[in-house]
Amino acid sequence: MSEIKKIAVIAGDGIGPEVVAEAEKVLKRTEELFGYRFETEHALFGGVAIDEKGTPLPEETLEICKKSDAVLLGAVGGPKWDSNSADLRPETGLLGIRKALGLFSNLRPAVVFDCLKDASTLKPEVLEGTDLMVVRELTGGIYFGEKFRRDTEFGQEAVDTCAYNETEIERIVRQAFEIAQKRRKKLASVDKANVLESSRLWREVVIRIAPDYPDVELEHVLVDNCAMQLLRRPSSFDVIVTENMFGDILSDEAAMLTGSIGMLSSASMGEGSFGLYEPVHGSAPDIAGQNVANPIATILSLALMFRLTFGYADAADAIEAAVAEVLDAGHRTGDIAVDKSQAISTTAMGELIVAAIKK
């Protein structure tokens, strides 16, 4: 019998509880099929926590997360809390939980499912086989550097600074190398080393630690070129690692290679194998409570947890294959359906995927 893994489950608001419930069915099925053992503990977070505990991130929720091996999060937020002050807004809890758990990277896979490749704005033959992951540094760079304004003879001047130290660069680049080792063993490090000093240090660090990962094929790509290559040859990328602002932009670009926001999974990681896994989408108040949301982003986030935190590649492969099989058979939720009248419900999609998981 395998060791028991602890998962904190945070459903959140809006469609969060609906999509998380389907991912939990998938979790249970993989437990039965593969013999892995999980213990889940539910915790309050976001708007629902504001209503019941008076804060978006209750101390006990943080405690539950800290004693877990991984966190599965739905989504938070909604119009009910939009006019609240900052400390009573669900989204404030999102920043708080990432900080409290020391999560310094954001991982966004972009996978083009064969049968959905017509849904993209790009040509199907360009997209064919695309399966990449953007690893974005999350706690440094220009978003967190010193910023100020000053008066000059040309009027006001605004300054943002981009600072990175070797420790910050090394920990995320090592993480990206390790992720590449669990995938197709290719890493593209993206910088602007022809112009920026912070990028020159970034590249020096990458070159220094690369010999520790001799099995990974490394390329350095300038960010402007990377933006082009993502549209020209997306399938040639495996893992892309980059600093905060470049990653913000490139991960959104990469997301648009695929179909709907209802398909996009993500992970936030810190030191070690701990991770917080969540769909990229929000709480979708416009469709909440209607059993129409696409649960695939959350189910794929669970697969990512199996792969990255637990190293259960067989279960992760099985879940991803089940999703592909159900899509190939033509089943669609409303967000990815061409003929909306044929769309199936959240629960129906979840149950089809559960039934398709094979050992």
Which is catalytic among the residues 51, 114, 160, 224?
A: 224
358, 29 Cβ separation under 8 angstroms: no
Number of residues that bind ligand NAI (CB under 6 A): 22
CB of 210 to ligand NAI, least distance (A): 33
- Under rule CB under 6 A, which residues in 52-81 are in contact with ligand NAI? 75-78
Name the residue among 99, 18, 7, 20 with its Cα closest to residue 57.
99
Q: Which of 57, 71, 94, 356 binds ligand NAI (CB under 6 A)?
A: 94
- Alpha-carbon Rg for the chain, nearest whole angstrom, is 21
Q: Is 192 a catalytic residue?
A: yes
Query: 289 a known binding residue?
Result: yes
The reply to whether 13 belongs to the active site is: no
Sole binder of Mg ion in the list 41, 131, 178, 248 (CB under 5 A): 248
Nearest partner of 293 among 20, 104, 105, 76, judged by Cα:
20
Residue with smaller CB distance to Mg ion, 30 or 251: 251
Amino acid at 159: V
Q: Catalytic residue, from 143, 185, 186, 314: name it.
A: 143
Cα 243 from Cα 241, distance rounded (Å): 7
Concerning whether 252 is annotated as a catalytic residue, the answer is yes
Fill in the DSSP letter of residue 136. E
Residue 264 or 349 with smaller CB distance to Mg ion: 264
For every residue of 15-40, DSSP letters joined together read THHHHHHHHHHHHHHHHHHH--EEEE
Nearest-5° Cα angle at 137, 317 to 122: 60
Element (H, E) at 242: strand 239-242
Q: Name which of ligand NAI, Mg ion, none residue 248 binds, using a CB cut-off of 5 to 8 Å depending on partner kind.
A: Mg ion
For 142, other C-beta atoms within 10 Å of its C-beta total 18
Binding marks (x or -) toward ligand NAI, 121..150, rule CB under 6 A?
Answer: ------------------------------
Can residue 91 be called a binding residue for Mg ion (CB under 5 A)? Answer: no
C-alpha–C-alpha distance, residues 257 and 324, integer Å? 17
Q: How many CB atoms lie within 10 A of CB 110?
A: 25
Residues 274-303 within binding reach of ligand NAI (CB under 6 A): 278, 281-287, 293-294, 297
Is 93 assigned to a binding site?
A: no
User: Which residue type, as a one-letter code, is found at position 45?
Assistant: F
Binding residues for Mg(2+): 224, 248, 252
Where in the sequence numbering do the catalytic residues fall? 143, 192, 224, 248, 252
> Residue numbers of the site for Mg ion (CB under 5 A)?
248, 252
> Residue numbers of the site for ligand NAI (CB under 6 A)?
15, 19, 75-78, 91, 94, 261-262, 278, 281-287, 293-294, 297, 335
